[in-house]
Structure 1
Amino acid sequence: MQIHMGETMTDNAPDLSGDWDLDAAHTRVGFSAKHAMVTNVRGAFNDVSGSLHVDFDDTTKSNAEIVLEVASIDTRNTQRDEHLRSADFFDAEKWPEIVFRSTLIEEVGDNALVVSGDLTIRDVTKPITIPLEFTGAQTDAAGALRAGFEGTRRINRRDFGLEWNMALDSGGWLVSEKITLEFEISAVKRETAAQAA
């Protein structure tokens, strides 16, 4: 993965190669969907984990994984959240996790990445690509190197077996088929044994 990211690869820049973990407290993986064809309903998965491996010498070894706990879905409405956890939608009891595993990470421009991989929702796995903006890397107050990424990607929920809907009297549907996934990722670099010593 050739991440030049503007000026981040200068002599003074932090070393982005190595292993990173998602900081769940500062990472948001959310979604938005049209409700009743007029308003957007937004939500997020509050329990997110994942990791990233960056290898500048062999880009084929760079990879990412994100795991969302379905039971942690939060749309700020208890009744709606329970419905989304039910068999009508995600069926959290039967399929408790949504998983994305990358197959290719490419730099397509300054601060711009395209991450290709497999997204599994319920028992359906489909290839998707996610465009991400690299928002920078800084050493935080605790001395850890932190990197940020942001992006969105539209998917058709029916492609993943999320079929439930209700027809409106005026025509159209209660819930849109197109869903926008929203990624705001903060990753913290793991210390190597040498750094820890």
Structure 2
Amino acid sequence: MIFQKLKPFALVGALVASPIFAADYVIDTQGAHASINFKINHLGVSYVTGRFNEFSGTYSYDSDRPEDTKLEVVINTASVDSNHAERDRHIRSSDFFDVRQYSDARFVSTSYEDLGDGKGVMSGQLTFLGQTQPVAIQVEKVGEGQDPWGGYRTGFVGTAELNLPDFGANFNLGPAAEKVYLDLVIEAFASK
């Protein structure tokens, strides 16, 4: 997970904004209604942006008790996509992500602070490059409601900032490239 004060983890979705009930949700990655995007400084003059094409996750959510929200997301690190095949091969190598040794990154929430008006802070532990560190995601609820297929969906957006050296990453790309900004958009459907 990488980038400047971007929106690291975003959960988005919902067609109707009426609250329902406490439920467990599955992030809708099959329908392309969720994304994990990143941004990292390049040489102090611009940014490289990208996304992770493969990830999965679940969360529990109750609009009447948002403080009880729980989230778990697993990212396939080899699915990194910066829109440049040669660079992506290099990112996957042992110089950077070392995807043969660290095939995934995992975020598991530990608490949620409700700030009101659908906003909050999701705190948890992120395991990346074999190191586990605390991470806080700024979260905003987009909506919730029935979908056209008889299901129920909720959606959130989120942002996070990662300090790569905290995870043992010493890519030597200069101090400006030590921070990665994440932008998360998550839409999920109630599991049955």
Q: Same fold (TM over 0.5)?
A: yes
CA distance in 2, matches of 1:114, 1:174: 27
CA displacement at 1:165 relative to structure 2: 2.3
CA distance in 1, matches of 2:114, 2:66: 10
CA distance in 1, matches of 2:87, 2:63: 44
Contact conserved, 2:68 with 2:112, CA < 8 A, in 1?
no
TM-score (norm 2): 0.83
Q: Does 2:76 correspond to 1:69?
A: yes
Runs of 4+ aligned structure 1 residues displaced above 6 Å come to: 56-60
Task: Give the number of the structure with larger relative contact order, counting CA–CA contacts within 8 Å between residues 6 or more apart.
Answer: 2
Equivalences, count: 174
> Could you say if the C-alpha distance between residues 55 and 146 of structure 1 is closer, same or farther in structure 2, counting changes exceeding 3 Å?
closer
Q: Does 2:143 correspond to 1:136?
A: yes
Aligned AA for 1:145? Y
Structure 1 portions without partners, runs of 5+: 1-11, 167-172, 192-197
Contact conserved, 1:46 with 1:74, CA < 8 A, in 2?
yes
The aligned counterpart of 1:22 is: 27
TM-score (norm 1): 0.81
The aligned counterpart of 2:12 is: none
CA displacement at 1:119 relative to structure 2: 0.4
Aligned AA for 2:118? N
Structure 2 portions without partners, runs of 5+: 1-16
Larger of the two Rg values belongs to structure: 1
Q: Does 2:186 correspond to 1:181?
A: no
Contact conserved, 2:72 with 2:108, CA < 8 A, in 1?
yes
Taking only aligned residues, the RMSD between alpha carbons, in angstroms, comes to 2.1
Q: Which runs of structure 2 are paired with 1:46-195 in the superposition (5 Å)?
A: 46-54=53-61, 62-166=69-173, 173=174, 176-191=177-192
CA displacement at 1:55 relative to structure 2: 5.2
